Amino acid sequence: EIVLTQSPGTLSLSPGERATLSCRASQSVNSNYLAWYQQKPGQAPRLLIFGASSRATGIPDRFSGSGSGTDFTLTISRLEPEDFAVYYCQQHGSSPLYTFGQGTKLEIK
C-alpha cells in the first residue's frame, strides 16, 4: 500500500503570500494518477489538480501542481481569502485502489 504523507500539517500565511504544500509517497507514484483537492468545512472535496500538474475545469491559474516519483507539490501563487481550507493529495494505485494524504490545513495568519 502506498502511503501519502503531507507536510506541513498546518500552514499559517497571509492573503497575497505564496503557499507551498508537499505530498510525499512511500513508493513511486504514476504522475498521471496524482491529484490535489481542496475542502472547506461542511463541503465535499473539490478537485484542483489531476495528473500531478493539470488544472481541473474552472480552477484559477494561481493553483499549480508539480512533481514526480515520490515528491509532489501544490503551489498557490498569491493567496486569496477563499483559498484558506484543507488540502489533500490522492493517488490511484492497485491495492487499495485509491489513497489520500492526511491533509494540510491552510489557515490565515
Partner 1 sequence: EVQLLESGGGLVQPGGSLRLSCAASGFTFSSYAMSWVRQAPGKGPEWVSAISGNGGGTYYADSVKGRFTISRDNSKNTLSLQMNSLRVEDTAVYYCAKKLSASGTFDYWGQGTLATVSS
By C-alpha distance, which of 4, 35, 6, 8 is closest to 107?
A: 8
| Shortest distance in whole angstroms from residue 2 CB to partner 1 | 12
- Between strands 10-13 and 104-108, the pairing is parallel
Q: Per CB under 8 A, does 105 bind partner 1?
A: no
Closest distance of CB 97 from partner 1, Å = 5
Residue from 9, 14, 44, 81 touching partner 1 (CB under 8 A): that is 44
Please give the grid coordinates belonging to residue 79: 493567496
How far, in Å, CA of 52 to CA of 67, rounded? Answer: 7
Residues in contact with partner 1 by CB under 8 A are: 30, 32-33, 35, 37, 43-47, 50-51, 56-57, 88, 90-93, 95-103
